[in-house]
Amino acid sequence: MTLQLAPKTIQSLLPTDILFQSDYWAHVKSRLGCRPMAFDILAPAPDSRAHAHAQKSSRKRRGDVLVLLHPVGNGSLGAFIPQGPEQAPPTDSRGHYLEELSEALTRHLDPSVAFIRYDLPWQSSYTREMRDGHWTAFPEPRIREMRMNIGTRHWNLRKAEMDMTVASSMVVDIGRPEEEILAGMKPKTRYNIGLAHRKGVTVARADTDNLPAFYELYCQTARRNGFPICAYRHFTALFQAHAQKPGTSELLFLLAGHAGNLLAGAIIAISGRTAVFLHGASATINRRLMGSHALHWAGMQTARSLGCTRYDMGAVSPGVAPDHPFYGLFRFKTGFGGTIELRSGSWDYPLNEDVYHAYRNADALSRDGGL
C-alpha cells in the first residue's frame, strides 16, 4: 500500500463521532494558537491495476485527518493529530501504516515541523491481554515500541511520554432506555443519584455568564486532586468556537446547585452520536449532597435526548490500580456502569531529532515541576 494525502478545507472534514477530529475542534484550537490543516487519506483501490500516470484516479479515500500545527520552541513546529486518524488498519500493520502516513504527510508540511504526534483512537493492541490477565497498566514503552515498529523500514515510531487525550476512558452506552442505564449502574451510584434528587439538588443548562464561577470551582477541583490547571482561555475558546460554528457541534454547559450554592459543573461536547465529558468541577463542601452524581446523570439524559448513544466520561486508570493518578476517577466513574475503552495512546514520528528530544525533555520537566 502506498498512501497519499490530498489537502482540503477544514470545512470539508467528514462528519465524525470523534470530537477531536471535527471542524468544531479545529476552530477551538485555532483560537489557542494552532494552525489547522485537513487531508483526505488516499490509498490504491483494492482492484486497481492502473498505471502510475492514472494512479490518482484509481485511489480510494480511506477517511480524512485533522492536523494541528503548534509552536514547540526555537522556531520549530509540532504536527499534532488528536485522536486520529479514525480508521485503523489491521493490528499487525499499524506501524507500517503510520510510517507511510507520516512520510506522505511530511511532503505537505513546512520544513520547520520537527515531529508528528498521533493520538490514536484505535483499540489498544493489548486489550485482550489486559482484560484476560487483569493487568492494571499498559506494557512499558520499550515493549510497545518494539511491537509497533515491526514491519517498518525506519523503526522511527516512539511512544510519547504522555498521551494527548486519554488512553483509557470510561464510556457508557446511553442508547438504551433510561431504566436499563440505571439498572447497569452500581447500587451505590444509583442510590446517590436518588439521594441528590431527594435532597433537592438541581441540574440546569447554563450560559457563559456562569463560566467564571465554573472556572473558580474547576481550579479548586484541580488543586484538590493535584491535576494541572488549564488557563481560562481554553474554556472561552470552546464557547467562542461554538458561537462561530453552531451547526458543527452541540455544547452542554451544566451546573448542579442546592439552595443557591454551586455544587458541581460540567462542559460536555457532542460530535455525531457521542457526548464527550471535557471538563468537570465539584465543590469541596457539601459533597454529601452528591452533586457530581446528579450532574453526570443529567448529562446522560440530555445527551440521550439529543440522539447520542455514547457518553464518554473520560480518563480512568486501566484497572484496579490504587497507585495510578486516575484511580479515584476509576472508582467514581465505574459506578455508572460503562466499559473502559483501552486505546493506543500517543505516538511520535520525529523528523528533527535534536528539536524533538529538546521538546520531550522540556515537556517532562514542566510536568515534574507541576507547571
Q: How far apart are CA 293 and CA 304, in angstroms?
A: 17
pLDDT (0 to 100) of residue 43: 87
Query: Grid coordinates in use for 350?
Result: 520525529
**Identity (one letter) of the amino acid at 159?**
K
At 268, is the secondary structure helix, strand, or coil? strand
The answer to whether the Cα torsion of 296, 298, 302, 304 is positive or negative is positive
DSSP letter string, 161-230: SS-SS-SEEEEEE-SS-HHHHHHTS-HHHHHHHHHHHHTT-EEEE--GGGHHHHHHHHHHHHHHHTPPPP
Q: How far apart are CA 371 and CA 369, in angstroms?
A: 6
pLDDT (0 to 100) of residue 365: 55
**Beta pairing, strands 168-173 & 202-205:** unpaired
CB-CB contact of 238 with 269 (8 Å) = yes
Look at the chain and count its residues. 371
pLDDT along the chain (371 residues), means of 10: 92 96 96 98 68 55 95 95 95 96 97 98 96 93 97 96 93 98 98 98 97 97 90 97 81 97 97 97 94 98 97 95 91 96 97 95 59 28
What count of other Cβ atoms lies within 10 Å of the Cβ of residue 5?
A: 20
Q: Where are the alpha helices (DSSP H) in the chain?
A: 23-30, 94-106, 127-132, 141-149, 178-183, 187-198, 211-225, 232-244, 291-305, 327-333, 353-368
> If you search the block for the grid coordinates 476517577, which residue do you land on?
329
Main-chain dihedrals φ then ψ at residue 342, nearest 5 degrees: -95, 115
pLDDT (0 to 100) of residue 368: 39
pLDDT (0 to 100) of residue 85: 97
Q: How far apart are CA 202 and CA 147, in angstroms?
A: 49
Global confidence as pTM? 0.92
pLDDT (0 to 100) of residue 54: 47
Give 30's strand partners. Answer: none
Main-chain dihedrals φ then ψ at residue 177, nearest 5 degrees: -60, 150
pLDDT (0 to 100) of residue 249: 74
pLDDT (0 to 100) of residue 367: 53
